[in-house]
Amino acid sequence: MDRLKIAIIFGGCSEEHPISVKSAQEVAKNLDLEKYEPFYIGITKNGVWKLCHCPDANWEDCSCRPAILSPDRSIQGLLVLEQGQYKTIPLDMVFPVLHGKLGEDGAMQGLLELSGIPYAGCDIQSSALCMDKSLAYIVARNAGIATPNFRTVTAKETIDADGLTYPVFVKPARSGSSFGVTKVCRKEELLSAVETARQYDSKVLIEEAVAGSEVGCAILGNDMDLMAGEVDQICLSHGFFRIHQENQPENGSENGAVIVPADISAEARLLVQETAKAVYRALGCRGLARVDMFLKEDGKEILNEVNTLPGMTSYSRYPRMVAAAGLTFAEVIDRIVSLTLKGK
């Protein structure tokens, strides 16, 4: 039986480039080579595409070859430059292991739609929607799902700091992994926080601080056939969770830890899982996503954000949640492949 030819795209131009490389490394470790023939496509921070042997830490320094994904549906594969000529490698599917801008926001999904190659994860619309937290909140609210109170600030808009109730969180509307996020407790801190967020996105979100436990739920599947992973919980000593800004995130976070399963009641656990599924469907997600929420003391849940291509690193939350639910990472990959090819 021929192995499925799968392109695993990683790296990218966003601030989450290093996280993507680590996610691809975990995918490579858990990929069943008896079933799949992988083609690792690394995208440098400058946007250069390269076919490499593996996504190790020094992948750019290895003997990589220039490669591009053909948007021509008559080819449906990679074009790899060898000795001055392009060689075609047909593909059965693409697994984009990309996080952030130009990977998780619909841009890569648009190229994949043009190519006609089946790809893992959410489509253009749901990817773009979930990437923009303000738009995701609006759609979720219309579906009856609670969100924080918020306002958006455009690139040149002035802000009335006296008109807010503190504390608030200031964050880029379209970024991830807590890059550019600031907790603002006094009005004097607001303008500086907005400028920090604008380093990552021209559109900035100011939202109320929600008092409650931070919980998350991994979702796997399509339409009504969804599997919810075990619920996890972030326990903080101070500030907000920013493990991806640590020098050695593999050793944990300076100000918090993730507990799986969450230290909540069985009733609350089921509520979080069912709400996560409702959010997933309302935002049109497919394949996989991680839904993060706040669980208040009164038992109500508030949407925080949805990650359509969640981290897959050794310290990431998604793999740990599905592992606690009884699936190995290799089995998760198998399911993602199956979901992708069924939906082609």
User: Directed axis angle between helix 133-142 and helix 124-131, to 10°?
Assistant: 100
Which string of DSSP letters, residue by residue, matches 262-324?
A: -SS-HHHHHHHHHHHHHHHHHTT--EEEEEEEEE-TTS-EEEEEEESS---STT-HHHHHHHH
Q: Which of 28-42, 177-191, 221-235 has the lowest mean pLDDT?
A: 177-191
Q: Give the H/E segment covering residue 183.
A: strand 182-184
Task: Write the CA distances from 104 to 88, 100, 287, 310, 344, integer angstroms.
Answer: 26, 5, 13, 9, 20
pLDDT of 73 above 90: yes
Residue 93: strand pairing partners:
6
SS3 category, 136: helix
**Residues 220 and 318 placed together within one structural domain of the fold:** yes
Is there a single domain that holds both residue 258 and residue 135? yes
Q: Tell the burial category of 56 from Cβ atoms under 10 Å away from its Cβ (0-12, 13-18, 19+).
A: middle
Q: Which domain, by its residues, includes 141? A: 128-146+211-342
Residue holding tokens 């503190």? 166
Assess contact for 246 and 239: CB atoms under 8 A. Answer: no
Let me know whether 225 and 133 are in one domain: yes
CATH number of the domain residue 111 falls in: 3.40.50.20
- Percentage of the residues of the chain whose pLDDT score is greater than 90: 78
Evaluate if residue 155 carries a pLDDT over 90.
Answer: no
- What is the structure's pLDDT at 17? 94
Average pLDDT rounded to a whole number, residues 334-339 = 96
1 three-state secondary structure: coil
- Judgement on whether residues 224 and 193 belong to the same structural domain of the protein: no
> Per mean pLDDT, which range of 17-21, 130-134, 254-258, 304-308 is the poorest?
254-258
Are 161 and 135 members of one domain?
no
Question: Which of 56-65, 71-80, 198-207 comes out lowest in average pLDDT?
Answer: 56-65
Q: Please report, for the domain that includes residue 271, its CATH number.
A: 3.30.470.20
Answer yes or no: is pLDDT of 24 > 90: yes
Is the pLDDT reported for residue 301 higher than 70? Answer: yes
74 lies in the same domain as 135: no
| One domain for residues 56 and 171 | no
| 137 and 175 belong to one structural domain | no
Residues 82-135: tens digit of each pLDDT: 888 899 999 999 999 999 999 999 999 999 999 999 999 999 999 999 999 999
Beta-bridge partner residues of 206: 151, 170
Total domains present in the chain: 3
Q: What average pLDDT does this structure show over 190-202?
A: 92
218-260 per-position pLDDT tens digit: 999 999 999 999 999 998 655 555 555 555 665 555 556 889 9
**96 and 165 belong to one structural domain:** no
Same-domain check for residues 107 and 189: no
Q: Are 270 and 138 members of one domain? A: yes
Q: Is the pLDDT of residue 299 over 60?
A: yes
CATH at 156: 3.30.1490.20
Alpha-helix runs per DSSP H in the chain: 17-30, 107-115, 124-131, 133-142, 190-198, 266-282, 317-324, 329-342
Q: Which of 79, 100, 119 is the last residue of a domain?
A: 119
Helix axes 329-342, 17-30, angle to 10 degrees: 100
Residues 156 and 282 in one domain: no
Q: In terms of pLDDT, which residue wins out, 2 or 94?
A: 94
pLDDT bracket for residue 157 (50, 70, 90): confident
C-alpha 191, offset from chain centre:
28
